[in-house]
Amino acid sequence: MVSRERAVLVLEDGKEYFGQSYARQGVACGELVFATGMTGYQETLTDPSYAGQIVMQTFPHIGNTGVNSADNESDQVWVSGYIVRDPSRITSNYRAEDSLESLLIQNEIVGISDVDTRAITRHIRSQGAMRAGIFSGEFLANSAQERLDIVKNSQGMIGRNLSGEVSTKQPYVIKAKNTSVGNLAVLDLGVKRSTLDYLAKSGFDVHVFPQSSTMDEILAVNPVGVFYSNGPGDPAASDQQVELLREVLGSGLPYFGICFGNQLFGRAIGLDTYKLPFGHRGINQPVLDKSTGKVQITSQNHGFAIKAELEGIYESPLGFGKFEVSHYSLNDQVVEGLRALDIPAFSVQYHPEAAAGPHDSVFLFEEFKSMVLEHQIRKGEGK
């Protein structure tokens, strides 16, 4: 059995939870969120959307299947800190190449184990999202007040722009895995590899651009459409990407956005966004598709949402025509999707590429492809 030293999780409301250090020792601060999957912890850790967050696994036993290079959603672990109840003492899976703790140590992630994750989850589900800090090693010498001050002085999510930290620095291309529909411009705001894979499987030659790219740079690849990815941070702090999207919509290019790309679409057509009190986390979030009346079970990770009425057709105050809320959460009636009625554009708040998670909404990639092909026919470019 591994011998571990003490560690403590401190919440910004003053609550403390003592446990044992896990992975690296030190201090880590971030917004405390939770992931509900029994599996898929590696995809969670390497998802850029979790940048700036301390992730807590609600399933008690984590790590028994190890990690492998094939399941990474990016080239590194992005979480600020990591919390588990009972880390597996062994790695037992034919696909495993290393242990979970080894991956965390290599990425210098400070963690804590042997805490009551159920009690912590219940607390933040009732009190709302908040900042937190993990303290171990030499930082345990700090007084409780000193630790709390460190947490309270750490940066929260409101007003925070993280796209520049997680986005690619240089453009790159992933070739279509089927007959090519054409070049698709993807603005990387924290994109996952599984998303790019689904786009390539749908027949797009995927051109991935840094988050600071301009319209001229996007038009230089002669795109048949534009895609905005998931990503971390406050959508209200992403004015540059919103202005670029307005240029995209004004050009008539088909648009598809997921997660952060949904929030920025809302802002681009004139809606506001706001911070959710609890956020939507997990792989079992029910969403109603208004066009079909069907319920999709979805994977979600977001702390912000679009402010809009669920019913009715609205006119964009910025001249982009009419639009409607296409999807909403059955848990709390939060907006989960938008669809433009006069231009080829739609977005969803959840993750159709979910891994691990449900695949109810993976058809949206093909729906976007159909929109692109229809747009080409209307322009006289299709066959």
Residues serving a catalytic function are 259, 351, 353
Q: With beta carbons less than 8 A apart as the criterion, state whether 286 and 295 touch.
A: yes
DSSP 351: B
User: What's the half-sphere exposure (Cβ side, CA atoms, 13 Å) at 232?
Assistant: 24
CA distance 291 to 289: 6
First to last CA, the chain: 66
DSSP 50: G
Q: Which residues of 350-371 are buried (b: 16+ CB within 10 A; e: fewer)?
A: bbbbbbbbbebbeebbeebbeb
Q: With beta carbons less than 8 A apart as the criterion, state whether 351 and 230 touch.
A: yes
Long-range contacts of 139-144 (CB under 8 A, 24+ apart): 139/26, 139/27, 140/6, 140/7, 140/8, 144/10, 144/16
Rounded (10°) CA dihedral 147, 149, 150, 156: 130
DSSP 37: -
